[in-house]
Structure formats: structure tokens, C-alpha cells
A and B are shown apart, each in its own frame.
Chain A
């Protein structure tokens, strides 16, 4: 979960409840949002009451009728009135926005000169995070990273798993990502970094340019290039940068990759960890497009196509030949 220090005085329970009513009626509510909602609503009986009351106001027939009336009244006005109204509206909008920068909403990051955050996801939980400089990070399941903005440097450490970065351009403050033994220096770009295991790191560049340092060797990567660093040695290959990384939609594309690698991806989503019984099986190669966000589906596919045995109990799923 994302930890955010928030001044509780800014938001009243009613404001928070209203924000949750608005957030929870979206067409699709992300799993992590729903989880945060359940934590919030069970935290205090006042929260639950306020949520019930604000939800009822949202649905109130009087509100439905009032909005319909406003719409009818507006349609009856002349064009001139609408144009004038628009101009007045524009003025009011400016005033409104400037007055409301600290207004209600779900807890959010606030711009600060120096800034730090720790993000962590559980299996199956993908977090989209906006940093105060405009950088966006999507953190895959079962992954962790820390962010620190210091004077003249933005530093991220990917301590576990995989993340996708869309970095805001800021020449005065280069953006660095450290993962395993690699360091990625960014100016302004979109790229993906995957710590496959403790000694393998994959960096794929989607836009812009990054410089990767593995030990003392520096490699420049441009869009469409992927660097795989394995125990201090690095290798550069090409990939299709027109597509965003598959994992962002829960897919993993495998071409002759080791089963162990695929299962590492599955474990970013699996609620019950998947283990491979022996190293021979882990080294066996598989190919295909796997919906790793649905571990049960992947495992039944492996069973059918590769004849791999799946033994599941409550705490672990074991794959055997």
C-alpha cells in the first residue's frame, strides 16, 4: 500500500465520504482502490455512516430532478446568454481552481521540494502512482520501490519486482533508478525495468533515452532497445516499443523462456505462491502468451500443453514433472 502523510484537518469525514462515493461509482474500480475503501469504511463507524448518507444524497430523487430542471432552464436560454455565461464561467473557473488547490479528494501526493515515498504491492496488485514532478510509475504486482527527491537528483530504488516509468523531463534534476547492480540514468523518457531475479535485470526503453551503468560499463539505450544484465554482464536486444509492457494488462509473452521465469511472473499475481519442485523442470522452456494475472488459468494451460503436474494446497502450489 502507498503510505501518504496527510493532514487530517484538511478533510472532514463528510468530505472523505463524498470522495469515496465518487470514486466507488466509477465503471471499473481498481482492486487497490476497493481495498483502500474497505480499510477506510471499516476504520470508524462515522466513516460508514457518512458514506451511507452521502450515497443516499447522490441517489436522491430531488437531486435528479433538480439537475434535470437546471438542464431544461439552460436549453431555454438564448445563444447570447450562453456565450456571456461561458465568459463568466471561465472567470469563475480560474478563481475556483486557484482557491481549491488544497480542497477535498482522496489522499494525494503534495508537491514538496524534497520528497520521499515507499511503494509496495502485494500479489496481483498493480499501482499507478504520480510523483509530484509529474513522473508516472506503474508498479507491478509483488514489487517494491523507494523514491527520494533530493536537491538536484531524483532517485528511485527498485528493490523487488518490476515497474514502468514515464519520467517528467527536468534537466536540472536527473532521474536515477537503481535495481540490483544496475543504475539507469534518465533525462525524460518512458521505460520498463524488471528485476527478474536477484542477478538478472531487464531494462526496456519505450521513449527518449536512458544510460545504463552496470559496474563501470555504460550503455546508451534508445527506444526499442532492451538491455539484459546478468551477473555483471550485459546484452542488448531489440523489442517492439510500440506496445506498452504486457504486464500492465496482466499478460506475459514468452518465447522459449524458462519455466522458472514464467512462474516468477505468475508469482507477482498469485495469492498462493507457486513453486517448481526440481531445477530440471524450472529450466524447461515454454512459449506462448500467458495471462499471468490469472495464475489458475496459466497453470491449467501448462498442465494441458506441457503435461506439468499441478498440486495445490492452501499455502503453496507445487509444479512437478
Chain B
């Protein structure tokens, strides 16, 4: 692994982490901050550690930053903070929209073959490893991975479809605040 990365590589990683953070938080400014911070932290980290996948590292850091962000948000004990955080709290129609998306995910889960749904729930909800699930169901871990993969593809298709039909004008497309329409097609295809 070369010790110094090209600036282009970091720029590409920042863009993709931003896309991920935006899709998760739906807040463009927050996504910018997270992407920038994730890249800075990754650059610092790889100076002292051997890193095989910079992408994997950057995504992991972004996950932690997002988790930290929401953890900080939860307990609002100080009234004076509320004003400054107003933009970060869900708006009423955002909540309704989230409920509708949950219903779409529920429908997708209920449409799955039972084994696929069962395996997915063990991994996603209960956090069991593929090896544990394989032992419990007498299947090999690779087969378990495939079931989870299929379930994720199903849910993703349902989530994308729901967003196209139900909420086309909402700020949920990671790219609709940028003029780059090619990427938008990638999201919709």
C-alpha cells in the first residue's frame, strides 16, 4: 500500500461518504461535515496504522460520527440548546414520511420467503453472526450471507421504489442538491 494517497482518491472517498451520510441523515450540511471529518480522521489514522481498505475505514469512521451525532442529540436537557438544534430535529412531515417508509419496509419483509426474512432478522435485529445463524439453521455461513444479501436487495428495491412514488420531491435523493444528473439515474435505475 502506498503511504501517500492522491488528493483525487481522497476526494472520491469524501464524495461517496457524503452520499452515504446524506442518505442516512438527509441533512446536506451535516453530510458535508461528516464526510469531511471522516476523511480527515482516515488520513490521520492511516499515517500510524496499516490500512488495507481506505473505503472501509472511511465508512466505519462515518458510522461512528453519525452515531455520535445522534447520541448527542437525544437527551435535550438544556432548553437553550434547542434553538440551535432546531434544524437537526425531525420535522412533523418527516416523521409521517418515516412511518410510511417503515410500512413499505414491513410490506417488503412480509413478501420475502420465510427463511430469507428469518435469516435477515437474526442478523439485522438480533445481531447474530452469519456463523451463529448457520449453526442454528444447519446451513453454511456462505449460504446465510446469500440469504441476507437477497433480503437487503429486496428492501433496497422497495425503499427506492417507495421514494420514487411517495416522496419524489423530498430531500432524500443524495444527489438532488447537486446538478449532476448522471448520478441521479444511478440511484433511480
Contact = CB atoms under 8 A, between A and B. Distances in A.
A71 interface: yes
A297 interface: no
Interface string A237-267: 0000000000000000000000000000000
Contacts of A22: 123, 130, 145, 148-149, 152
Nearest to B124: A67
Nearest to B129: A27
B149 A48 contact: no
B153 A93 contact: no
B30 interface: no
B92 to A, nearest CB: 16
A96 to B, nearest CB: 5
Interface residues of A, number: 57
Contacts of B55: 37-38, 41-42, 48, 51
Contacts of A95: 113
Interface in B123-180: 123-125, 129-130, 142, 145-146, 148-150, 152-153, 155-156, 159, 174
B54 A38 contact: yes
Given A56-B23, A96-B113, A49 B149 contact: no
A55 B149 contact: no
A304 interface: no
A29 B57 CA distance: 12
A283 interface: no
A18 B152 contact: yes
B148 A62 contact: no
A237 to B, nearest CB: 35
Contacts of B114: 85, 88-89, 92-93
A14 B153 contact: yes
Interface residues of B, number: 53
B67 to A, nearest CB: 10
B142 A108 contact: yes
Nearest to A35: B52
Interface in B99-132: 101-106, 108-110, 113-118, 120-121, 123-125, 129-130
A178 B187 CA distance: 51
A23 interface: yes
Interface in A74-133: 85, 88-89, 92-93, 95-96, 100, 103-106, 108
Contacts of A104: 146, 149-150, 153
B156 A54 contact: yes
Nearest to B123: A22
Contact of B106 (A34, A61, A70, A100): A70
A63 interface: yes
A35 B53 contact: yes
Given A60-B159, A105-B145, A34 B53 contact: yes
The DSSP consensus for interface residues of chain A is helix
A159 to B, nearest CB: 26
Interface stretch (B13-21, B38-46, B72-80, B81-89): B13-21
Given A65-B105, A103-B146, A55 B115 contact: no
Interface in A15-67: 15, 18-19, 21-24, 26-27, 29, 31, 34-35, 37-38, 41-42, 45-46, 48-67
Question: Which residue among A57, A68, A95 has the maximum number of chain B CB atoms within 10 Å of its CB?
Answer: A57
Nearest to A67: B125
B68 interface: no
Interface string B11-35: 0100011011001100000000000
A102 B74 CA distance: 45
B152 A70 contact: no
A315 interface: no
B52 A63 contact: no
Contact of B153 (A18, A35, A64): A18
Contacts of B120: 67
Contacts of A31: 52
A305 to B, nearest CB: 26
B52 A55 contact: no
Nearest to B117: A70
A69 interface: yes
Given A24-B59, A49-B183, 15 more contacts: A19-B149, A27-B129, A35-B52, A38-B56, A48-B55, A51-B16, A52-B20, A53-B19, A53-B174, A55-B20, A58-B124, A64-B125, A66-B106, A67-B121, A100-B146
| Nearest 3 interchain pairs by C-beta | A56-B23, A66-B105, A89-B114
9 contacts: A35-B52, A42-B55, A52-B19, A54-B153, A62-B101, A62-B104, A65-B102, A70-B109, A70-B110
